[in-house]
Amino acid sequence: MARLDTNIDVKKEYAAKMRTPEQAAAVVKSGDWVDLGHGSIHAELCDKALSERTEELFDIKLRALWIIDHCYCVEADPEGEHFAYSSFYFSAYERKLFDRGLCFHQPMQFRDVNKYYSECIHTDVLFVAATPMDEEGWFNMSLAGGVGRTFTENADFVVVEVNEHLPWVSDERKCSVHISEVDMVVEGKHDALPELASKPASENDKKIAGYIMPYIKDGAAIQIGIGGVPDALASIIADSDVKDLGMHTEFCTNGYMDLYKAGKITNRKKNIDKGIGLYATSAGTHEFHRWIDRNPGVGVRPVGYMNDPYVIGQLDDFISINGCLSVDLYGQVSSESVGLRQISGSGGQVDYALGALRSKGGRGFICLDSTRTSRDGTVHSNIVPHFNGEIVTTPRTHTMFIVTEHGAVNLLGKSSWERAEMLISVADPAFREDLIKAAEEQHVWRRSNKR
């Protein structure tokens, strides 16, 4: 990455660096590490142009995260002979690639992304999408601004692909890249941004949200993830008397937009960053993209700041709400794999669980349905005796509330037998006797416990 120089003629510099996607793709050499961006800042034109060179390239290591629809290089190489693709956090699309042996998982604690890239990861060529350049020569990293700047700072060669559909989000220049720091600029027509629609809330989602609602106080700052529970909770909050909420979140979604429009989020009571709701990455509907574009009440900041537990801990009454796939009787949480099958990634769940612990009056909630049904119709308990290959996302020392449709239990400070008893109490009734037997065998059950 070139050195920042804001004294140049930015329009002249832009014209000098303009290239076609094919010219940008020609920079890549066999053996290179190539980054393709994150979610909405995936450089799809450059990806497609690079895929056209598949047969002439070998041992290209591709890296990205949460690409939503297409990775053209991977699709052009179904046997994986030319490209090896790794993702920090799987989208549904990348999960399908994983099942075909075409996507590897690259574990990462999201808040430390800058350290990963500056000290542990080498990028030969970066292709990343951004907004059109402003009059001062800056490209805004938009919906994924919290990580986009890190990508550009640590790449040997930076190609910015201008996506005309990306909204501009306030970032205090902390998540933008200047034309002087760019090696090439690519333009071209893009399809509309992919949408992340709200998931309809199930009856279980509504019950789970109802158990969380009593803990949300006026003036609390909230972090909510993706899925039915956050959407259900947003709907309940919008119809409640709660007021003056703050937004501090890794991921901003449609639920936050709904809360803003309902007048519930004002950010007036936050201990830090008053008056503005902050996020690191985001996705939503086209209405969401219009809402966030140049909205003075919403801003993007580096994920190293947004996910820092010490920063989060400065916000009183902080509420963190995340989902998971399973919990064992020790209080360990798996949010990213079913057995050895990778489903997503670590993201910032641990960061926000720890941040909620540090917050005065803070509460951390991890939510799940008590059961799941496999394709053959078999019903399984999501509260299990112990893990068998599942990746532990949140350790038992950071786990506070576990919430199912059967209730909410706070494991913080509880002994092993108390944890087992509490978790079994919110498991599906059909599995409780088997879980008690397992707890007895694992020596985490007291004989005096009520059956």
Distance CA 48, CA 396 (A): 43
pLDDT at residue 273 above 80? Answer: yes
Q: Residue 347: what pLDDT?
A: 85
Share the mean pLDDT of the chain. 95
Binning pLDDT at 50, 70 and 90, where does residue 265 land?
very high
- The active-site residue, picked from 250, 336, 405, 421, is 250
Q: Residue 229: what pLDDT?
A: 86
Strands 60-65 and 371-373, by their bridges, are unpaired
Candidate from 71-85, 151-165, 228-242 with smallest mean pLDDT: 228-242
146-161 mean pLDDT: 94
Q: Tens of pLDDT along 304-342?
A: 999 999 999 999 999 999 999 999 999 999 999 998 888
Binning pLDDT at 50, 70 and 90, where does residue 155 land?
very high
Domain 203-441 grouped into CATH 3.30.1330.10? no
Distance CA 142, CA 171 (A): 9
Q: Residue 73: what pLDDT?
A: 98
pLDDT at residue 231 above 90? Answer: no
Helix, strand, coil tally for the chain in percent (to 5): 30, 25, 45
pLDDT at residue 440 above 90? Answer: yes
Q: Residue 350: what pLDDT?
A: 94
DSSP 3-state of 242: coil
Contact 257, 289 (CB under 8 A): no
358 CB-contact burial (10 Å; exposed 0-12 / middle 13-18 / buried 19+): middle
**Residue 181 is a catalytic residue:** no
Q: Residue 3: what pLDDT?
A: 83
Q: Residue 451: what pLDDT?
A: 52
Class of domain 10-186: alpha beta
Among 383, 391, 359, which residue's Cα sits nearest to residue 438?
383
Distance CA 162, CA 355 (A): 36
CA atoms within 13 A on the CB side of 422: 20
Contact 204, 405 (CB under 8 A): yes
Among 167, 169, 133, which residue's Cα sits nearest to residue 17?
133
Binning pLDDT at 50, 70 and 90, where does residue 64 land?
very high
End-to-end CA distance of the chain: 64
Q: Where along the chain do its domains lie? A: 10-186, 203-441
Q: Tens of pLDDT along 407-427?
A: 999 999 999 999 999 999 999
Contact 4, 179 (CB under 8 A): no
Contact 230, 251 (CB under 8 A): no
Where would I find the beta strands (DSSP E) of 317-426?
319-323, 326-328, 333-334, 337-338, 341-342, 363-367, 371-373, 379-381, 383-384, 401-404, 407-410
384, β-bridge pairs: 328
Binning pLDDT at 50, 70 and 90, where does residue 450 land?
low
Distance CA 109, CA 303 (A): 10
Q: Do domains 10-186 and 203-441 have the same CATH topology?
A: yes
Q: Residue 226: what pLDDT?
A: 79
- Per the confidence metrics, is the pTM higher than 0.75? yes
pLDDT at residue 134 above 60? Answer: yes
Q: What Å distances lie between residue 247 and 91, 265, 322, 326, 417, CA to CA? A: 24, 7, 15, 27, 36
Which amino acid would we find at residue 184? M
Indicate if the alpha-carbon torsion angle 440, 444, 449, 451 is positive or negative. Answer: negative
Candidate from 115-119, 183-187, 437-441 with smallest mean pLDDT: 115-119
Among 129, 126, 136, 147, which residue's Cα sits nearest to residue 187?
129
Please state the φ and ψ torsions of residue 269, each to the nearest 5 degrees. -100, 0
Residue percentage of the chain with pLDDT more than 90: 89
Q: Residue 366: what pLDDT?
A: 96
273-302 mean pLDDT: 96
Please state the φ and ψ torsions of residue 122, each to the nearest 5 degrees. -110, 135
